[in-house]
A and B are shown apart, each in its own frame.
Chain A
Amino acid sequence: MKRLAAVVTLLGLATATAACSGGSTNTSGSGGGGGGGLFTTIDVTRPGLEATAPANPYHPKGNSFVGYNAMRIGWVKNHLTDPNQALPGIAASWEIAPDNSSITLKLQPNAKWSDGKPVTAEDVKMSIGIAYTQGSTAFSITPGAAGAAADVTVVDPQTLKITQDMDNPSPTFARNVLDTNVLPAHVWGSVLPADFWDKLKTARGDGADAEKAREEISALGEKVLAFAPPKDVSAGPFVLERVNPSEALLVKNKNFFNAANVAPAQVKFLNYTGNEQIWNYLTQGKLDQAGFTATPSDVMNRIKQAPGNEIIKGYSPVAVSMAFNQSKKPYDNVHVRRGLAYLIDRDQVTKVASPEGGTPALTTSGIHQKAAQAWIPETVPQLEPYKADVAKAEAEFEKAGLSKKDGKWTLADGSAWKVSMHAPSGFTDWLSAQENIKSQLIAAGVDAEVVTTADYPLYLQELADGKYDVGFWLMALGPAPYDIFQRLYGASNGWTNVGNKVTHNAPGKNGNWMSGPEEIEVGGEKINPGELTAKLNTVGAEEAKPIMAQLAKAANQDLPVIQLWDYVNTQFVNNSRFTGWPKDDELLRGGGKVLMSGVWIQQGLIKAKQ
C-alpha cells in the first residue's frame, strides 16, 4: 500500500503536458515564524531510512529530502488545469514566452548554500546537466522526445534562459524545467566532464557520433546516482545533520534565503517500513505531518482521536480503473464491458477498498471528476453514469451473445466465463477492491477470481505482455490533458507518439495490451482517439477542451476501462506544535518526490504554536 501511494504520487507527476499559461511571478511567503522547535515527519515516498546513503537527491535511498535539504528551481503546484503554475524555489520568478518556446529564470537574490557560498546561475546550469544524465522530461537526449530543451544560456549570475526545441514542443515544458533539482557546482562539479556541454551538442545530432555521445551521457547517470558528497551542502531551509536507522535529523540552514520565516529549528524524519508503523506514529500523535497513506476507517478514527491531529483532504489527479485486454474474449465486445460497468457498484467498491483515499468515480470519462468539472463541465451530464443496475447489465450481456445457464453467465459458445482480475500483491487497496468486485460479480452469476503478482514492476511487465485479461490501471494523471488521456489512448492501447508522429501498433505489439480498435464511433462519428489524444500535446487550453469532451465521450461509450474511484489527497497534520497548514488543493501536492511540508515550511506558511 505504501508502494502504491508512492507509485500514485510519482505517476501523477512523472509526465506532464498541457495548456500553457503566461509566466508567474511569485514572492516568498510572508509572516514571521522562527519560533523554533522540532518538526517530526516521514518521507512518505520512501520507506526505510538508510543511514549510509549519501545526501544525493538522485540516489534511490539518498538522505536528501526534497523540499527540506534539497531544492528545486520552482515548486510545481497541483493546479486543476494549468500545469505550469509553481511556487518560487531557487528561482524567485520566471517568465514563460507566450509561445512556450522559452523560460527565463530569475534566481533568488539572497540564495546561499549552507556553507555560505552564493547560489548562482552556474549551479543551476550544472544541475540541468545532471538532469540530462537522468533522462528528465525537459532535459532529454532521446531523439524526437516531446518538450525537450534546446539550449541553456546563463544570461548573468542571477538569470538563465532555457529554450524549448520547437520541433516537438510540449505545453508542460516550463513545468518540467521548474521541477529540476538544484545542486552546488562547487561540490558536484567533478561529476560532469569538462566537455559535457559539447558532448550534449553532439548528442542532439544524428549519426554514430551522436549515438556514442548519448551513450556516454547516459553512462554518467550511474556516476550521478552513486555520487556521495563529503557532507550535505544544501540551499534549502534545512541541512542534514545525522542519520541512523531509526531517524534522520536535519537542522535549520542559517544561510537559507527565507530562514527568518522557517519555523522549526530541527526536522526529524522517522523511519518506517510499512503502513502500520505510520498508523502507529499517527495514533500516538508523534507526527506533525505525513503524506497520503492508505488507512482503514477504524484506524483513521483512532488517528482522528489523537490530540491535535487533523486530516486535510484535497485533490489528487489520479484515478484507478479496471482495464480490459480486448484481445481476450469476451472483453473485445463493448457490451460485455458495459454490462460489467452496470454490474459493479463503484460506491461499494470504494467503501470497502479506499474509504479514506478515494471517492467513487461518477462515471467513466477518463478524467478525474474534479478536473472534468474544470475542463468539460457541459459534457459531464451527457455521459452515461453506469449506475449499478443488474437488469441493464443482463441486457448488455445478452446483446453480447452471452447466456445464463443455471444462474451462471457463459460465453457465446457455451464455455465457462471467469473474470480473472490481476493486481500486484503489495497493493492491498487494489486487492480489496478486486475481492469486493469478485463478490459482486459472483452474486450476479459471473464467475471471478483475484490473482496477484509479486511486485508492481513485474505486474506492469506482464500486463504489457498481454498476460492478463483484466487488471487495475492508474489513469487520469493530470493536470495536462495529454497526460490524462494518454493513459487510455496512448502506448498501452496501441498509439505511440514519437517526434510528434502518431503511429498505431497492432494488438500485442510495442506495448499495446489494451488492444482496442483504432477507430471508435462516438455519437455517429468515427474518431481515432489516439490521434486526438496526441493532438492534446500541441494545442492550447481552449482548443483542448472540445477534444477532451470528445475523448471523454469516447471513453464513456467504448469503456476501454471502468473508472472505479478517483483518488483523494489525504494529509495528516497535527496542530499541537505547529499551525498554518494550507488547505488549498494546489499546495497539497507537488512534483515527483517533493515533500510538500518542506515547501510549506520554506514558504513561511507553517508557524510554531505560541
Chain B
Amino acid sequence: MSATLIPETGAGTAASAMRRNFWRGVWRVMRRKPSRMAGVVILIGFVLMAVVGPMVLPEHLPSNPDALTRPPSWDHWFGTDPQGRDVLALVIKGSRYVLLTAAVTALITVVVGTAIGLYSGFKRGRWDTVLMRLTDMKLTIPGLPLLLVLATVWQFGSPWQMGLVLGLLGWGGVARAVRSQTLSLRERGFIEAARGLGLSTTHIIGRELLPSMAPYIAMNMLISVTGAVYSQVGLFFLGVLPYESDNWGVMLNLAVFQAGAMITPYALGYLLAPLLAILLLTLGIVLVVDAMDEIFNPRLREE
C-alpha cells in the first residue's frame, strides 16, 4: 500500500513543484515587458466584454431618433449609429458573436489540424500520403471565395455554425506544420527511448510528442483567432451574411455605405469603434503570443 503511495505522493509533489516553477517563470516573463501584461489585460478585457457585456446591457439597445449618427461626446464615447444607438454599446453587444466564433474556429482549426498532422507524421506511409494530398487540396482552395459561395446556401445564423465552417476551412496550415514537427521529433532520442521501453503509441503521442508541440499549437490557436475575426467581419462587411445591427462587420458596412463615414466626420466614431476593437484584439493576441514564445522556448528564456 505504502509502497505504491509513496512514489505517487512524490510524483504529486514534484508535479506541483514543476507547476509552481512554471507559473513563476510565466510571471517573470510577463514582468520583463509591460507590453505583455497589457496583452493579457486586453484579452481578459475582451473575454469579460463578451461574457458580461451583453448581460449588463439591455437586450434591445435604446435608440434616439433625435440623435442619429452623432459624433463622439461624453454621453456617447464613439457617437451614435444611424438609428441613434450608442456605438460603444453596439460594439460590446457584438463582441460575443465575434469572439465565440473566433474561439470555436480556433478550437476546430487546432484539434483537426493537430490530429491530422500528428497521425500523418507519426504513421507515415500510405496514410501520410492520403492525408497530405487531402491537405494540399484543401490549401489550394481559396478561402474567401468559397465562403462567399457557402454563404448563399448557409446563413451562419449562430456563431457555432460560423466557427465550424471557418474552422473546417482553416486547419490545413496547422496540419502541415504539426506533421513536419512530428516527423522531426519522432526521430529524436527520447522518442526512440520511449519506443525502446515498449510504451504504447497513445503514450508516445499523448505524453511525449504533444507536450513538445503544445506551445506551437497554442500559438497557432491564438493566431487563428485573429484570422477568424478578420474572415467573419469581412463576410459581414461584404453583406453576404445575415444582417445583425450589432455585428462588427455590419457596423463597418453601415458606417461606410449608409452613414457615409468616408465623407462626413459625424459617422467616424461608428467606423472607428469596431475597427479599434479588432485592432486591440489583434494587438492583445500578438503581445500574448510574444510572451508565450519566451515562456515555452528555453533558449529565449535563458537570455
Q: Which residues of A contact B (CB under 8 A)?
A: 1, 274-276, 279-280, 283, 295-299, 301-302, 348, 351-352, 425-426, 428, 431-432, 435-436, 438-439, 442, 450-452, 454
Contacting pair A299 B83 (CB below 8 A)? no
Contacting pair A352 B60 (CB below 8 A)? no
Query: Does more than half of chain B's interface fall in helix, strand or loop, or is it mixed?
Result: loop
Surface stretch bound by A, among B105-113, B175-183, B250-258: B250-258
Contacting pair B60 A428 (CB below 8 A)? no
Which among A298, A299, A452 has the highest number of chain B CB atoms within 10 Å?
Answer: A298
Nearest CB of B to A204, in Å: 41
19 inter-chain pairs at a CB distance below 8 angstroms, sorted by A residue, are A1-B258, A276-B263, A280-B263, A295-B260, A296-B69, A296-B258, A297-B68, A298-B266, A299-B260, A301-B264, A351-B68, A352-B82, A428-B257, A428-B258, A436-B65, A451-B242, A452-B243, A454-B151, A454-B240
| Contact pick for A454, options B60, B84, B152, CB 8 Å | B152
In this assembly, does B245 line the interface, its C-beta being within 8 Å of a C-beta of chain A? yes
Provide the bound-state CA to CA distance between A298 and B257, in Å. 13
| Contact pick for B243, options A274, A283, A431, CB 8 Å | A431
Provide the bound-state CA to CA distance between A301 and B68, in Å. 14
Contacting pair A276 B83 (CB below 8 A)? no
A276-B260, A450-B245 given; A352·B68 CB < 8 A: yes
Q: Which of B72-130 contact A (CB under 8 A)?
A: 82-84
Nearest CB of B to A161, in Å: 50
Nearest CB of A to B59, in Å: 8
Given contacts A296-B264, A299-B263, A428-B258, 8 further A-B contacts (CB under 8 A): A276-B260, A297-B69, A298-B264, A352-B65, A425-B240, A425-B242, A425-B243, A450-B245
| Contact pick for B65, options A348, A438, A454, CB 8 Å | A348
C-beta contact mask, B242-285 vs A, less than 8 Å → 1, else 0?
Answer: 11010000000010111110111011000000000000000000
Provide the bound-state CA to CA distance between A253 and B214, in Å. 74
Chain B neighbourhood of A298, CB < 8 A: 69, 259-260, 264, 266-267
Q: Who on chain A is nearest to B152 by CB?
A: A454
Contacting pair A296 B60 (CB below 8 A)? no
Provide the bound-state CA to CA distance between A229 and B151, in Å. 39
Chain B neighbourhood of A452, CB < 8 A: 242-243
Chain A neighbourhood of B243, CB < 8 A: 425, 431, 450-452
Contacting pair B258 A432 (CB below 8 A)? yes
Provide the bound-state CA to CA distance between A486 and B95, in Å. 45
Q: Who on chain A is nearest to B81 by CB?
A: A435
Provide the bound-state CA to CA distance between A279 and B68, in Å. 19
Contacting pair B263 A274 (CB below 8 A)? no
Chain B neighbourhood of A425, CB < 8 A: 239-240, 242-243
Nearest CB of A to B109, in Å: 27
Chain B neighbourhood of A274, CB < 8 A: 257
Q: Who on chain B is nearest to A352 by CB?
A: B65
Nearest CB of B to A424, in Å: 10
| Contact pick for A1, options B240, B257, B266, CB 8 Å | B257
Contacting pair B263 A302 (CB below 8 A)? yes
Q: Who on chain A is nearest to B66 by CB?
A: A351
Q: Who on chain A is nearest to B253 by CB?
A: A428
Chain B neighbourhood of A297, CB < 8 A: 68-69
| Contact pick for B239, options A299, A426, A450, CB 8 Å | A426
Chain A neighbourhood of B83, CB < 8 A: 352, 432, 435-436, 439
Nearest CB of B to A258, in Å: 38
Q: Who on chain A is nearest to B242 by CB?
A: A452
Q: Who on chain A is nearest to B258 by CB?
A: A428
In this assembly, does B184 line the interface, its C-beta being within 8 Å of a C-beta of chain A? no
Contacting pair A276 B262 (CB below 8 A)? yes
- For the complex of A and B, 4 pairs with smallest distance between CB atoms: A299-B260, A452-B243, A298-B264, A428-B258
In this assembly, does B297 line the interface, its C-beta being within 8 Å of a C-beta of chain A? no
Contacting pair B82 A432 (CB below 8 A)? yes
In this assembly, does B201 line the interface, its C-beta being within 8 Å of a C-beta of chain A? no
Provide the bound-state CA to CA distance between A573 and B257, in Å. 22
Chain A neighbourhood of B258, CB < 8 A: 1, 296, 428, 432
Nearest CB of B to A274, in Å: 6
Which among B82, B83, B254 has the highest number of chain A CB atoms within 10 Å?
Answer: B82
In this assembly, does B13 line the interface, its C-beta being within 8 Å of a C-beta of chain A? no
| Contact pick for A296, options B82, B84, B245, CB 8 Å | B82
Chain A neighbourhood of B260, CB < 8 A: 276, 279, 295-296, 298-299
Provide the bound-state CA to CA distance between A280 and B83, in Å. 23
Chain A neighbourhood of B16, CB < 8 A: none
Chain A neighbourhood of B239, CB < 8 A: 425-426
Chain A neighbourhood of B245, CB < 8 A: 435, 450
Q: Who on chain B is nearest to A447 by CB?
A: B60
Q: Who on chain A is nearest to B238 by CB?
A: A425
Chain B neighbourhood of A439, CB < 8 A: 60, 62-63, 83
Provide the bound-state CA to CA distance between A546 and B256, in Å. 48
Provide the bound-state CA to CA distance between A297 and B68, in Å. 9
Provide the bound-state CA to CA distance between A452 and B235, in Å. 14
Nearest CB of A to B261, in Å: 9
Chain A neighbourhood of B263, CB < 8 A: 276, 279-280, 283, 299, 302
Provide the bound-state CA to CA distance between A435 and B263, in Å. 23
Nearest CB of B to A92, in Å: 44
Nearest CB of B to A447, in Å: 9
Provide the bound-state CA to CA distance between A274 and B261, in Å. 14
Q: Who on chain A is nearest to B240 by CB?
A: A454
Provide the bound-state CA to CA distance between A53 and B234, in Å. 30
Chain A neighbourhood of B152, CB < 8 A: 454
Q: Who on chain B is nearest to A301 by CB?
A: B264
Chain B neighbourhood of A436, CB < 8 A: 63, 65, 83
Nearest CB of A to B226, in Å: 26
Nearest CB of A to B71, in Å: 10
Which among B63, B240, B254, B259 has the highest number of chain A CB atoms within 10 Å?
Answer: B63
Provide the bound-state CA to CA distance between A352 and B84, in Å. 9
Q: Who on chain A is nearest to B262 by CB?
A: A276
Chain B neighbourhood of A276, CB < 8 A: 256-257, 260, 262-263
Q: Who on chain B is nearest to A428 by CB?
A: B258
Chain B neighbourhood of A296, CB < 8 A: 69, 82, 258-260, 264, 267
Provide the bound-state CA to CA distance between A583 and B234, in Å. 43
Nearest CB of A to B24, in Å: 51
Nearest CB of A to B250, in Å: 9
Nearest CB of B to A129, in Å: 38
Contacting pair B65 A351 (CB below 8 A)? yes
Nearest CB of B to A284, in Å: 10
Contacting pair B69 A275 (CB below 8 A)? no
Nearest CB of B to A408, in Å: 12
Chain B neighbourhood of A1, CB < 8 A: 257-258
| Contact pick for A428, options B62, B68, B254, B266, CB 8 Å | B254
Provide the bound-state CA to CA distance between A83 and B264, in Å. 40
Chain A neighbourhood of B65, CB < 8 A: 348, 351-352, 436
Nearest CB of B to A498, in Å: 34
C-beta contact mask, B229-243 vs A, less than 8 Å → 1, else 0?
Answer: 000000000011011
Chain A neighbourhood of B254, CB < 8 A: 428
Provide the bound-state CA to CA distance between A442 and B63, in Å. 11
Nearest CB of B to A282, in Å: 9
Provide the bound-state CA to CA distance between A281 and B152, in Å. 33
Provide the bound-state CA to CA distance between A425 and B260, in Å. 17
Chain B neighbourhood of A454, CB < 8 A: 151-152, 240
